[in-house]
C-alpha cells in the first residue's frame, strides 16, 4: 500500500546538541548504529520510509530525554530547543514530515504553554511524552493521573490534539523483578508493562471523566491491553474496591484511546486490537529507528485485511485524527 502515514518514528539532534538529553537505548548492543539511524531520521529514515510506501511521518524526540531531566527549568529549556530544532527540520520537507511536541511535564503549566506554542505557532500535531516524568531525584516518577497535571490535560483538550504515551523502563527501584534477565527490559517486555500500567492509571484515576475529549495514543497495538482489559475490570469489580473512574474502564479504552501497529507485526494481535477498540482507532506505524520500516510495511501490506480496512489503518484514520 502506498500513501501510508507513520507516527511512532523518532529523531535525535546531533549528540552535541544538548548534553541533558538521555536515550533509553544507549546501553543496548548495537546502539551506535541505532543512534546514527535516529540522528539520520531526515535522510536515512526518509529513504527507508520511501521504500515502505510511507508518504508522511509524524516525528518525535526519542526516549526518555525530556522526561528524564530532573530540573523543571532545564526540562522546559531543552524541550523548547528540541522543538525549535525539529521545526527547522520538518520545514525542509513539509510534504513529508509533521511533528509531535516534546513537553516538560516536570512543570505542567509550562508543558501546557509549550504544547500550545508548538500547536498554534509551529503547526505540530500533538505531543509525545516518554512515559512517567522524573523530578528532583533519579528515583522518582510522576504519573499523569495526578491532579497536578490538570493544566496540561486542559490544554490538550482545548487544543484538540492527541497525546502519544510512549514507553520507557520503570524507575530503577522498581526493576528487581528483571534482575538476572536483562533481555526482558526495554521493548521486549518492561516498556509495555510500564506503559500499560500508566494507561490504566489514567483510566482508573478519572482523567477521562474530567477531560472526556482527551485523546491518547498507545503504540505496539495497545501494549497488550486489548487482551487484558476484560480481566482487569472483572477482578476490580470482584474485589469490591471503588475507583475514582465513573465509567467502565473499557469505555475509556474505546472512546479515548488510539492504538498503532508500531513494532508489533502480528495478524492475531492486530485483529484482537480491532475487535476491542474498532477499526477507526487503529493506525499504522513502524517504530523507526528500532524497527525496520520496510519489514513493518511488508507485514501490513499482506495482513489479513480488506483493502478498505487497510486504507483506514494505513492512512485515513491518521488523516482524520491529526487533520492532515
Instruction: Find the mean pLDDT for residues 292-305.
Output: 98
Per-residue pLDDT at 105 exceeds 90: yes
pLDDT tens-place string over residues 129-147: 999 999 999 999 999 999 9
pLDDT-wise least confident of 2-11, 167-176, 208-217, 308-317 = 167-176
209 is catalytic: no
| Catalytic residue selected from 50, 91, 154, 287 | 287
pLDDT value at residue 26: 66
pLDDT value at residue 27: 67
pLDDT tens-place string over residues 188-241: 999 999 999 999 999 999 999 999 999 999 999 999 999 999 999 999 999 999
pLDDT value at residue 65: 95
pLDDT tens-place string over residues 55-76: 999 999 999 999 999 999 999 9
Reported in sequence order, the residue ranges of 100-254 that DSSP labels E, i.e. its strands, are 127-130, 133-135, 137-142, 163-166, 216-218
**In whole angstroms, what is the distance from residue 249 CA to residue 58 CA?**
29
Contacts of 147 (CB under 8 A, 6+ apart): none
Distance of CA 244 to the CA centre of its chain: 25
**Structural domains of the chain in order of their starting residue, each with its CATH number:** 4-322 (3.20.20.140)
Instruction: Find the mean pLDDT for residues 265-280.
Output: 98
Backbone angles phi, psi at 251, to 5 degrees: -65, -45
pLDDT tens-place string over residues 135-189: 999 999 999 999 999 999 999 999 999 999 999 999 989 999 999 999 999 999 9
Amino acid at each position: 500500500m502506498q500513501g501510508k502515514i507513520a507516527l511512532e518514528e523518532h529523531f535525535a539532534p546531533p549528540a552535541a546538541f544538548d548534553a541533558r538529553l538521555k536515550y533509553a537505548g544507549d546501553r543496548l548492543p548495537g546502539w551506535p548504529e541505532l543512534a546514527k539511524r535516529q540522528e539520520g531520521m531526515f535522510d536515512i529514515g526518509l529513504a527507508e520510509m520511501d521504500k515502505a510506501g510511507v508518504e508522511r511521518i509524524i516525528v518525535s524526540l526519542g526516549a526518555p530525554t525530556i522526561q528524564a531531566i530532573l530540573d523543571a527549568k532545564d526540562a522546559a529549556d531543552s524541550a523548547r530547543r528540541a522543538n525549535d530544532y525539529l521545526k527547522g527540520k520538518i520545514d525542509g520537507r513539509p510534504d513529508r514530515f509533521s511533528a509531535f511536541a516534546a513537553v516538560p511535564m516536570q512543570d505542567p503549566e509550562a508543558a501546557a504553554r509549550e504544547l500550545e506554542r508548538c500547536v498554534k505557532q509551529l503547526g505540530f500535531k500533538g505531543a509525545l511524552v516518554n512515559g512517567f516524568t522524573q523530578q528532583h531525584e533519579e528515583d522518582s516518577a510522576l504519573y499523569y493521573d495526578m491532579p497536578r497535571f490538570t493544566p496540561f490535560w486542559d490544554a490538550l483538550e482545548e487544543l484538540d490534539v492527541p497525546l502519544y504515551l510512549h514507553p520507557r523502563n520503570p524507575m530503577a527501584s522498581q526493576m528487581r523483578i528483571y534482575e538476572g534477565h536483562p533481555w526482558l527490559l526495554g521493548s521486549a517486555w518492561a516498556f509495555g508493562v510500564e506503559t500499560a500500567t500508566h494507561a490504566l492509571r489514567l483510566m482508573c484515576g478519572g482523567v477521562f471523566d474530567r477531560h472526556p475529549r482527551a485523546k491518547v495514543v498507545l503504540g505496539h497495538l495497545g501494549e497488550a491491553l486489548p487482551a487484558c482489559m476484560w480481566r482487569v475490570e472483572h477482578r476490580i469489580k470482584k474485589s469490591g474496591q471503588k475507583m475514582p473512574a465513573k465509567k467502565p474502564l473499557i469505555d475509556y479504552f474505546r472512546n479515548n484511546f488510539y492504538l498503532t501497529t508500531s513494532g508489533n507485526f502480528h495478524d492475531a494481535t492486530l485483529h484482537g486490537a480491532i475487535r476491542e477498540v474498532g477499526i477507526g482507532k487503529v493506525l499504522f506505524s513502524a517504530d523507526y529507528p528500532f524497527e525496520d520500516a520496510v519489514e513493518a510495511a511488508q507485514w501490513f501490506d499482506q495482513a489479513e485485511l480488506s483493502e478498505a480496512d487497510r486504507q483506514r489503518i494505513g492512512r485515513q484514520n491518521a488523516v482524520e485524527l491529526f487533520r492532515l
